[in-house]
Amino acid sequence: MQLTELQIGLIALGVAGVGAVVGYNMWQERRHRQTAERALGEARPDVLINPPKTSQQRVEPTLDFDLSDDAPASPVNTPAAPAAMDADDTVAMPAMMAKADEPVGEPANVWADEHVEQLVVIELDEPVAATDFQRAWGDLAQNVDVALRLRGRDDQAGRWLTLTPETAGMLSSVELALQVADRRGALSEQTLSALAHALQGVADRFLAVVHFPDAAELLRRARELDAFAASVDVQIGINLVAGETPISGTKLRALAEAQGFALSGGLFHARDETGATIYTLGNLDAAQFSPEAMRTLSTQGVTLLLDVPTVADGARQFDRMVALAEQFAHTLGASVVDDNRHPLSPASLGVIRAKIAEFQGRMTQFGIAPGSASARRLFS
């Protein structure tokens, strides 16, 4: 059948229309890529290809004196600050990542902990269901071994949502609070690189732009925070050693629970009104405490432990722990001794109390209050 001029014209218009749609989609994709390239600037070498230098080992201070003597305490050695990062020690950043030269959204101190966390902002091209984002992030961040807190902005609801797998809502942006140091040490280049790859996946999947601080500056800050934390990270233990008869598990449990201790994770915990641990009671032997084992357990001793950075008013809490140790020792027929099995004299206890006050004073001067949420994050 021969086509008329009208039919040929209609076919041509149809082909042109399809071409226009394809061309528009290609233009949109190219526009997003150009936006991402402008945000990134020059590419950086990948830390996974160029291995980083070995980080320094974290060293906590010790109370370097014999508690059996009344001699003054030796000074505590504070670790030297880590060496500055070389110019070529860089971490590969995602292709859709921009430096956070200016704050994006709300200031970091509104939500992220400015003392121990770094805010990372993800601007989504279009609203994304919270469940979809969480599912994608769970897949992408499997190799990211660092403490992270996430929240998302639901503009329709006009509020921020703490992101969990069950969170419902449409997200226009997401904020990550990245913890830069804890008791395992400072944020490493390997971990930061793994996070960068996960954020790259988010950028690719959702056409997002990630606002991130300078990597070298972030790693420097993490090392400085870790060095300070190591210089004040002290735990004070008081041992109760059994006499001729081992300490009975049932008697110990009854005594501990009568004093407000609760068994959790192999230790008895004394907690404050917020649920934070003040001090713990643990087995001097290798075995941990458990509800079942306490029925038949007998031990040669127990240890009361005060985690100095994570409690407020540490000197007062230490005095309470000493009084509790003496009460426990009297009831259990045990002796209160130091790690060398020497009796603790009043002078020795006074030296320890002064050191606790010194360490906590340094924390306050640094800007992290002992027992605060920042302290509990850093010393976790």
Are residues 275 and 187 located together in one domain of the fold?
A: no
pLDDT score recorded for residue 336: 96
- The parts of the chain modelled with pLDDT lower than 50 are 1, 3-4, 6-13, 15-22, 24, 27-28, 30-56, 64-90, 95, 101-109
Query: Number of structural domains, the chain?
Result: 2
Are residues 189 and 317 located together in one domain of the fold?
A: no
CA atoms of 346 and 359, how far apart (whole Å) = 20
pLDDT score recorded for residue 340: 86
Q: Which of 230, 246, 267 is the C-terminal boundary of a domain?
A: 230
Are residues 289 and 213 located together in one domain of the fold?
A: no
| Torsion sign (Cα): 248, 254, 258, 261 | positive
What would the pLDDT profile of 158-204 be if each residue is shown by its tens digit? 999 999 989 999 999 999 999 999 999 999 999 999 999 999 999 99
Are residues 347 and 371 located together in one domain of the fold?
A: yes
Are residues 193 and 315 located together in one domain of the fold?
A: no
pLDDT score recorded for residue 337: 94
Q: Which of 230, 249, 278 is the C-terminal boundary of a domain?
A: 230
pLDDT score recorded for residue 165: 87
Residue 372 lies in a domain: yes
Q: Which of 210, 230, 250 is the C-terminal boundary of a domain?
A: 230
Residue 279 lies in a domain: yes
Are residues 351 and 241 located together in one domain of the fold?
A: yes
Are residues 166 and 281 located together in one domain of the fold?
A: no
Are residues 182 and 162 located together in one domain of the fold?
A: yes
Strands 209-212 and 262-264: unpaired
Are residues 208 and 241 located together in one domain of the fold?
A: no
- Identify the CATH number of the domain in which residue 173 sits: 3.30.1400
pLDDT score recorded for residue 96: 53
Residue 112 lies in a domain: yes
Are residues 254 and 363 located together in one domain of the fold?
A: yes
pLDDT score recorded for residue 339: 82
Residue 26 lies in a domain: no
Domain that holds residue 282: 233-378
Residue 119 lies in a domain: yes
CA atoms of 366 and 218, how far apart (whole Å) = 18
Are residues 243 and 217 located together in one domain of the fold?
A: no
- Identify the CATH number of the domain in which residue 308 sits: 3.30.1400.10
pLDDT score recorded for residue 104: 43
pLDDT score recorded for residue 240: 98
CA atoms of 191 and 16, how far apart (whole Å) = 50
Contact 205, 158 (CB under 8 A): no
Residue 347 lies in a domain: yes
Are residues 222 and 330 located together in one domain of the fold?
A: no
Residue 165 lies in a domain: yes
CA atoms of 323 and 338, how far apart (whole Å) = 15
Residue 39 lies in a domain: no
265-289 b/e with 16+ CB inside 10 Å = b?
Answer: eebbbbeeeeeebbbbbbbbeeeeb
